[in-house]
Amino acid sequence: MFTGIIERIVPVLAATDGPHFRRLVIANHWSDTKLGESIALNGCCLTVAEIIEQKLHFDVIKETLDKTNLGSIVPGDHVNIERTLKVGDRIDGHFVQGHIDGTGILINQSSDNDEFRLTIEAPDHLAKYLAPKGSIAVDGTSLTIAAVKANVFEVALIPTTLNLTTMGSRKIGWRFNLEADILSKTIVNYLEQTSGRAQ
């Protein structure tokens, strides 16, 4: 479980394709990282497969590569990273599982003296989870939906978010990893299930 509060932006040091998975490597920025630990890269929960010379190795299977933007990451690209939530930690952001629901395309950027906004087109199947003032994780970053129309939504970014994440550096056409709010998914699923039984 994560919170969507990004801890660091790090470059990918290596991305090697094998017969069954892709191996991504980043620098180890913590002294207590353990083999088998979960760390979110661009919001996708991955397992530390190896720790070699202060570098963390992750194996990303085809299912994950197909459904996230990790398949298009190349060495030198920067990713958002976050370690799992500790029991007793202060909870900022919102509860994020690290299970990507789909990818959304960046279709517009706008900025003025007051704010910086991104417009993202989500897959059609995520439209039912998008609500104004609701939460969504975008490349692992906990954000509040500022406006929504069908499957297109906007998020407004404060300078801190721009400085501490990759959000402000993405170009039009970038494919963001999206995870809808677990509360929205639970409520919608419950209503769909009960509606089906009522018929």
Q: Domains (ranges, CATH) in the chain?
A: 8-83 (2.40.30.20), 102-182 (2.40.30.20)
pLDDT of residue 58: 98
Mean pLDDT of the chain: 94
What type of residue sits at position 85?
Answer: L
Residue 133: exposure state from Cβ atoms within 10 A (0-12, 13-18, ≥19): exposed
pLDDT, position 195: 81
* 29-62 per-position pLDDT tens digit: 999 999 999 999 999 999 999 999 999 999 999 9
Q: Which residues contact 46 (CB under 8 A, 6 or more apart)?
A: 24, 38, 39, 40, 58, 60, 64
pLDDT at res. 199? 54
